[in-house]
Structure 1
Amino acid sequence: MTGLRVRTGRLDLWQLTPPGGAPLPLDELDEAERRRADAFRRPADRALYVAAHIALRRLLGARLGTPAKDVAFARADCPRCGGPHGRPVLAGGGPGAPHFSLSHSRGAVLVGVAPAPVGVDVERVPRPERVALCRSALHPGEQEELARRAPPERPAAFARLWARKEAYLKGTGEGVGGWTSDVYLGDGGPGAPPRPDGWSVLDVPCGPGHAAAVAVRGPVLETVVRRLPPEWVLSDGRIPDSRTTAARTSLSCS
C-alpha cells in the first residue's frame, strides 16, 4: 500500500468514492464484518460497506505496520451506562494507540485517524420532506437557525447540522439517541447556546450532494484531508503515489 502515512499528532481525514462493480477483497474483513456485509439487500449498499471497512483497515494497518486483515477491533465502555458498546477502538491498544472513526453514506466514505478521540460523519443531503420530519431531533437553537433559512437552503443546512451532531456523538461514544436535541452544534453567533466543552467540531469539504464533519477532543490539530482513488480498495491495494492527492487543509470550526 504505497503513499500512506498517518502521522502521530495530526488529524488525518481520508475521503473515498467506492469503485462500481469491481470485486472487493472480502478476506481482509473479519467474520463479523462479512456477516454484516451479507445482510445488506442492495448490492450498492453492500459494496459501500465493504469498501469503507477495507479502507479503514488498510489505513490503520499502515499506521500500525500490520496487515489490514490482522487489525482487531473492540468497543470502549459507553459513557452513559458503562456497557461495552461505546465507540470502536483498537483491541489491546495502549495509551498511544490511534483513535479512529468511520462513516459512509450513499457513495461517500470518510475515515478519521487522530491521537485523541475522534468522530466523523458524512450525510447525504435529504429531501425537504425528510427535513420536516426530522427537524425536531435538532437542538431548539439549531431549529431556529434552520427556520431562518430560505426553504431551498434547508436540506443542505440540515445535513451539515446533522453531520456535526453525529460526528460529536460518535467521538464521545454516546451515539445518536434521544439526547440529540440536547447538544447544540449550530452556527453560533450572538445569543447562541454554548457548544460542548472540550471538543473541536469542524465542517469537512466534500462533493455535491453530501455534508461531512469531524469532531475531535481538544484543540484543533494539524489537519490533512486526502482523497483516495476508488481503485485503492481493489484486490492488490497498490497505486502510484501520484494518484493519491493530498491537500493540507485548514478546516475552520463550524
Structure 2
Amino acid sequence: MSADVPRVAVGECHVWFADAVHVPALLALLDDRERARHDAFVRAGDRALYLTAHALARQLVAAQLGVGPFAVRLTQECRHCDRPEPHGKPGVADADLELSWSHSGGRVAVALSLAGPVGVDIEEVAAEGRAADLAATVLSAVERAELERLPAAERAAGFIRYWARKEAVLKATGDGLMVEPALLTVSAPDAPAALLEWRERAEPHLPVRLRDLDAGDGHRAAVAVLGAECPVVLHEAVYGGDGTLRHPRRGVVTSARC
C-alpha cells in the first residue's frame, strides 16, 4: 500500500504534501480512536483531511521504522493540561523520530525529523476580511505594521504567511495555541522566515530554524525545527483509488537549509 519512501537521515527534516482524499482502504490504517474521531466529523472535506493526514503519517513513520502501519504507535502529549483524552503535540512511541502534521483547505502536510523537535503548518489563503479580523488579535504590533505596509490585495496572503510561521513554531515547541500567538514576532511576509522575538520567553528550548515551504496554489506553509541547522527535503505524495501511495517527484525533491 505504500511507495518506496526515502529514509530520513540523522540531522534531516522531511516534509510531505498530499491532496486530501477519502479512500476507504486508508481507514484500515487507523486505530480505533482515530476512526472514532474521523467518524465524528460532519463535513466530508474534514473527514478527508483527517484521514489523509493520519494515514500518511502512519505510512511514512512505518517506512522509517521498518514495520507495518498497524505496528506504529502514535502519541499526543499536551504540556499545558492533564485532560485524559489524547491531544496536543503528536509523536512516535519508542522512537527518536519527531513528527508533526497539519491540514487546511484541500492539502495535508506531514513532517518527520531526526534533527530536533519539528512543527509544520499549512494554511489555505483566507479572505481579506477574515485576515483583517484575526490580525488584530494574533499579530504583534510590529507584524501588524508590516502587514499594513503591503498592498491591500496582498494582505490576506501576507497574514496567512505570518500565521503558518507562528503555528509551525508553536507546534515545534509543543505549546500550540495555549500560548498567545501575538507574543511571537516573525519576519515580514516578503522576508526570509525567522523568529525575531518571543516576549516573555528569552529562548524557546533550543534555537528555532524556521523555513517557508511551497505548499501549492492557494496555500502557505512553514516548518520549524528546534536545534542545529538542518536540510529540509520536500516530497509530494499521491494516493491511488485503492489507497496506494505513490511518490511522483522522487529524485527531483528539493533541499534547502532551514
TM-score, shorter chain, exceeding 0.5: yes
Is the counterpart of residue 118 in structure 1 residue 123 in structure 2? no
CA deviations 1:63-108 (Å, max 9, x no partner) are: 0111112211223451x56888542211233xxx110100011210
Question: Greater strand share, 1 or 2?
Answer: 2
Partner of 1:249: 254
Q: How far apart in 1 are the matches of 2:250 and 2:17?
A: 10
**How many residues align structurally?**
242
The 3-state SS of whatever aligns with 1:171 is helix
Partner of 2:210: 201
Q: How far apart in 2 are the matches of 1:88 and 1:52?
A: 12
Question: Taking structure 1 as reference, are residues 71 and 22 closer, same or farther at Cα in structure 2, changes over 3 Å only?
Answer: closer
Partner of 2:105: 106
Partner of 1:11: 13
Q: How far apart in 2 are the matches of 1:5 and 1:63?
A: 8
Q: How far apart in 2 are the matches of 1:216 and 1:175?
A: 14
Partner of 1:33: 34
Distance apart, 1:244 and its partner CA:
4.1
CA deviations 1:141-178 (Å, max 9, x no partner) are: 11111111111000101111100000110110000145
Contact 1:24 1:50 in 2 (8 A): no
Question: Taking structure 1 as reference, are residues 118 and 68 closer, same or farther at Cα in structure 2, changes over 3 Å only?
Answer: same
Contact 2:143 2:185 in 1 (8 A): yes
Paired letter, 1:41: V
Q: How far apart in 2 are the matches of 1:127 and 1:162?
A: 14
Aligned 1:25-64 pairs, distance under 5 A = 25-64=26-65
Paired letter, 2:91: V
Distance apart, 1:238 and its partner CA:
5.2
Question: Taking structure 1 as reference, are residues 246 and 181 closer, same or farther at Cα in structure 2, changes over 3 Å only?
Answer: farther
**RMSD of the alignment, in Å?**
2.4
User: TM-score of the superposition, structure 2-length normalised?
Assistant: 0.85
Question: Taking structure 1 as reference, are residues 209 and 5 closer, same or farther at Cα in structure 2, changes over 3 Å only?
Answer: same
Contact 2:103 2:121 in 1 (8 A): yes
Question: Taking structure 1 as reference, are residues 185 and 251 closer, same or farther at Cα in structure 2, changes over 3 Å only?
Answer: farther
Q: How far apart in 2 are the matches of 1:226 and 1:43?
A: 26
Contact 2:121 2:167 in 1 (8 A): yes
Question: Taking structure 1 as reference, are residues 185 and 17 closer, same or farther at Cα in structure 2, changes over 3 Å only?
Answer: same
1:237 to 216, 237, 244: 244
Question: Taking structure 1 as reference, are residues 40 and 246 closer, same or farther at Cα in structure 2, changes over 3 Å only?
Answer: farther
Distance apart, 1:15 and its partner CA:
0.7
Partner of 1:162: 163
Note the residue ranges of structure 1 that are not aligned, 5 or more in a row: none
Q: How far apart in 2 are the matches of 1:236 and 1:81?
A: 36
Is the counterpart of residue 92 in structure 1 residue 94 in structure 2? yes
Contact 2:239 2:245 in 1 (8 A): no
Contact 1:104 1:121 in 2 (8 A): yes
State the percentage of identical aligned residues: 34
The 3-state SS of whatever aligns with 1:122 is strand
Question: Taking structure 1 as reference, are residues 131 and 60 closer, same or farther at Cα in structure 2, changes over 3 Å only?
Answer: same
Partner of 1:70: 71
Q: How far apart in 2 are the matches of 1:161 and 1:110?
A: 17
